[in-house]
Structure 1
Amino acid sequence: MKSQLLYAAVAACALLLAGPASAQGVKIGILNDQSGVYADYGGKYSFEAAKMAVEDFGGSVLGQKIEVITADHQNKPDLATSIARRWYEVEGVDMITELTTSSVALAIHELSRQMKKIDIVVGAATSRLTGDACQPYGFHWAYDTHALAVGTGGALVQAGGDTWFFMTADYAFGYALEKDTSDLIKEKGGKVLGSVRIPLNSSDFSSFLLQAQSSKAKIIGLANAGLDTTNSIKQAAEFGIVKGGQKLAGLLLTLAEVHGLGLEAAQGLVLTEGFYWDHDDKTREFSERFFKRTGRMPNMIQAGTYSATLQYLKAVKAAGSKDTEAVAAKLKELPVDDMFAQGGKVLPNGRMVHDLYLFEVKKPSESKKPWDYYKQLAVVPGDKAFLSAKDSGCPLTK
């Protein structure tokens, strides 16, 4: 009887040490906003992009099945942390990606550091992720606030837009985007005349728009995203802001928001994206497959999630292991070469560097087919768009 009890105890300990059964496969979590202000910006479409990456990779790695799961964090850092902790501790998730919303991404970045798990942020913008908040297992993929400032902010200042007023989302992302753009404006000899902070998911922007209008700034910088940006632009039209001579700068605007606005409302907007579906044969091939599954063309968040998922799997294969240290090292070593980024590279602080593009939204008369929304104004080279590792403020690189 004693020997049976001893055997049972040893078996139980072995199970505990082995961790969850699902840890035998490779498990990836897509954690983002699927019901709120950023639901079109990333949402369930990013989940679909990740599944496409797994299918294109072949469905397994190191002889183990790859599984992708998803959850809606509702833009709440506490909820996101609770989900991520359960995924890591109980459900055997090896890597979390997408991570829309900067406050959420910063929280998961810290949790991943503590638990020695990999996260690859795609949907969140703050450059702090590879700056003062960098960590050994954290990566940042599609874009960041510094790159948007260089692309859209730099182009508009150069074109004579030297006075700015910011309408800023009242959380980490908005602050970072306003700061990075303001620094660049001042560096180029421009002035920031003021700013106003606006709660996430606001419905009425009228008082904020009136302040922006009365500032007489040449450029009103929209340091927000998703539905907050489209609602700002729609309400600005009601106040005749653009007709009155001021310009709107959508500092984080993607194809999803342009589609939501329609060309009549969005025409003439200048924006920076890291991906456009109609850029070349590779982007068209991927985007047409994505369209068949979702009924829409991908933006840089969805295409970036595909790229981040695919690159993670390549790193696992190259490492010959799911071990976090080994995979993180391979992610920093392997070049990124896919339909999202040709010749991309990952810096020691986890920042993936690749070219971005400055676009202007076409007039309705210029659009020749569905989703034909952009004309390219310039390429923003990756080494100009993103801070170098040594200039990023990341303590790992000192």
Structure 2
Amino acid sequence: MLKNWKTGITTVAAAAAVSLPMAASAELSDDVLKIGVLSDMSGVYKTLEGPGAVIAAEMAVEDFGGSIMGKPIEIVSADHQNKADIAASTAREWIDADNVDMLTALDNSSVALAVQGLAAERKVITLNTGAGTTALTEEQCTPYGIHYVYDTHALPVGTATAMVKNGGEKWFFLTADYAFGHSLRDNTGAVVENLGGEVVGSIQHPLSTNDFSSYLLQAQSSGAQVIGLANAGQDTVNAIKQANQFQIVQGGQKLAGMLVFITDVHSMGLDIAQGLQFTTAFVWNQDEEALEWSNRFYERHGAMPTMVQAGVYSAVSNYLKAVDEVGSDDSDAVRAKLGEMELNDFFVKGGKIAPNGSMLHDMYLVEVKSPDESESEWDLLNVVSRIPADQAYISMEDTKCSLVNK
């Protein structure tokens, strides 16, 4: 069932498959289930989520059977351009005019906070897979907001802990100047200081920065043992490449990429990225199940999936399962069902969605392979250790979310 949206909004509709008649008690608003993929389709985060998120969502719908309770499933997509006002305007139109039932991707923390708040007012579920700020499940948690793949608490637990314990006690941060960067810097700094380390300085840079030279020179002269990159996507790639030109690592300082994706490593190449450690929720060849899905994704996208692209598939799949089980797209019923479910697929094993909206699951500390270790173009990472969910995420005892009764 195909519908044309306004210019600038990409539409992908999944064809309805023949299905058994739906149960008498089952109901879908407008006789269709609509899922909105709102992502950066053209900017600094395009590669890590972007069009690949739409492909992942399409795959989830197709693997589910193409329809639900005898009714079609539609996917609509749009480019939020990393602007909260554009994202909110798009989400408002989708929800109010087009009856979109669930929103996913949202790979920018400012965008995600704006959309999650607006969607909650309208009782629409958001399954955020791309943004990182813990505010989504802490100070600005909502009954309908779910933070699915990672957050800025889970990332430093693995990376910063490993680096401090290996002697990297003094840190300087290069910070993307918006909600995500600030949250990642603050959470990483807290981990460093709790382990007895010290934050000796920080400097902020605009989103989508091409020239990091002045920022890197300040970090180089700071006396820090570790330069923490509290940014993501092409900003991280640019910072690491330019740090290599300044021979920062050769000079004795270490780089800590606090949010790194496999596409970043692929872009930089192993000569530059080898030895870099970071925390991730997913590695495409971590087991046979992940490998099988990732190869299918690669056939359609031309690149192996990032953790957030794999997370979109998992999030959409489990949302569809919840809708099917309750026999309705009613957000309260579906959110309650999601909270009851144990999530198990190629992306997550034993995952649980907590009352504050965090999807609690294990994370992985990985290290970039050397060129000699790699056996193929995308064979880039070694898993160093697994980080259990109860260590990676903020506990319900410590959460600031007002929805949680302690």
- Scaled by the length of structure 1, what TM-score is found? 0.94
CA distance in 2, matches of 1:392, 1:227: 32
Q: Which residue of 1 aligns with 2:42?
A: 35
Query: Per-residue deviation at 1:238?
Result: 1.0
- 1:325 paired with 2:332, answer yes
**Matching residue within 83, 95, 119 for 2:90:** 83
**Matching residue within 183, 192, 196 for 2:199:** 192
Q: Which residue of 2 aligns with 1:292?
A: 299
Q: Which residue of 2 aligns with 1:267?
A: 274
SS of equivalent residue, structure 1 residue 90: helix
Contact 2:224 2:253 in 1 (8 A): yes
Query: Which letter does structure 2 place at the counterpart of 1:291?
Result: Y
Deviations along 1:274-302, one digit per CA (max 9) or x if unpaired, are: 00011001000100100111111101010
CA distance in 2, matches of 1:355, 1:213: 34
Q: Which residue of 1 aligns with 2:231?
A: 224
TM alignment of 1:209-220, pairs within 5 A = 209-220=216-227
Query: Which letter does structure 2 place at the counterpart of 1:254?
Result: F
Query: Which letter does structure 1 place at the counterpart of 2:101?
Result: D
- 1:308 paired with 2:321, answer no
- 1:180 paired with 2:187, answer yes
Query: Which letter does structure 2 place at the counterpart of 1:77?
Result: A
**Matching residue within 58, 73, 85 for 1:51:** 58
SS of equivalent residue, structure 1 residue 70: strand
Contact 1:120 1:141 in 2 (8 A): yes
Q: Which residue of 1 aligns with 2:73?
A: 66
Query: Per-residue deviation at 1:72?
Result: 0.3
Contact 1:23 1:93 in 2 (8 A): no
Deviations along 1:36-90, one digit per CA (max 9) or x if unpaired, are: 0000010100110011011111111122111111000000000000000000011
**RMSD of aligned C-alpha atoms?**
1.0
Deviations along 1:166-186, one digit per CA (max 9) or x if unpaired, are: 000000000000010001111
Q: Which residue of 1 aligns with 2:22?
A: none
Q: Which residue of 2 aligns with 1:388?
A: 395
Query: Per-residue deviation at 1:390?
Result: 2.9
Pick the structure with greater CA Rg: 1
Q: Which residue of 2 aligns with 1:8?
A: none
CA distance in 1, matches of 2:147, 2:380: 27
- 1:138 paired with 2:138, answer no
CA distance in 1, matches of 2:365, 2:215: 27
Query: Which letter does structure 2 place at the counterpart of 1:64?
Result: K
Contact 2:94 2:100 in 1 (8 A): yes
**Matching residue within 215, 218, 230 for 1:208:** 215
Q: Which residue of 1 aligns with 2:290?
A: 283
Is the alpha carbon distance of 1:64 and 1:131 closer, same or farther for their aligned partners in structure 2, counting shifts above 3 Å? same
SS of equivalent residue, structure 1 residue 366: coil
CA distance in 2, matches of 1:359, 1:315: 32
Gaps of at least 5 residues in structure 2 are 1-27
CA distance in 1, matches of 2:310, 2:178: 25
Moved more, 151-160 or 294-303: 151-160
CA distance in 2, matches of 1:158, 1:65: 53
- 1:247 paired with 2:257, answer no
Query: Per-residue deviation at 1:147?
Result: 0.2
Query: Per-residue deviation at 1:22?
Result: 8.2
- 1:96 paired with 2:103, answer yes
Contact 1:23 1:91 in 2 (8 A): no
Contact 1:283 1:339 in 2 (8 A): yes
Q: Moved runs in structure 1, 4+ residues, more than 6 A? A: none
SS of equivalent residue, structure 1 residue 107: helix
Q: Which residue of 2 aligns with 1:238?
A: 245
**Matching residue within 386, 389, 393 for 1:379:** 386
Deviations along 1:163-221, one digit per CA (max 9) or x if unpaired, are: 10000000000000001000111110000000000000111111100000001211000
TM alignment of 1:112-127, pairs within 5 A = 112-127=119-134
CA distance in 1, matches of 2:329, 2:126: 13
SS of equivalent residue, structure 1 residue 164: strand
Query: Per-residue deviation at 1:389?
Result: 2.4
- Scaled by the length of structure 2, what TM-score is found? 0.92
Deviations along 1:13-49, one digit per CA (max 9) or x if unpaired, are: xxxxxxxx98320000000101000000101001100
Contact 1:165 1:212 in 2 (8 A): yes
Identity of aligned residues (%): 53
Q: Which residue of 1 aligns with 2:161?
A: 154
Gaps of at least 5 residues in structure 1 are 1-20
Contact 2:29 2:329 in 1 (8 A): no
Query: Per-residue deviation at 1:319?
Result: 1.3
Contact 1:62 1:321 in 2 (8 A): no
Deviations along 1:289-332, one digit per CA (max 9) or x if unpaired, are: 00111111101010000001001101101111100110110111
Query: Which letter does structure 1 place at the counterpart of 2:362?
Result: D
Query: Which letter does structure 2 place at the counterpart of 1:180?
Result: N
Query: Which letter does structure 1 place at the counterpart of 2:180?
Result: F
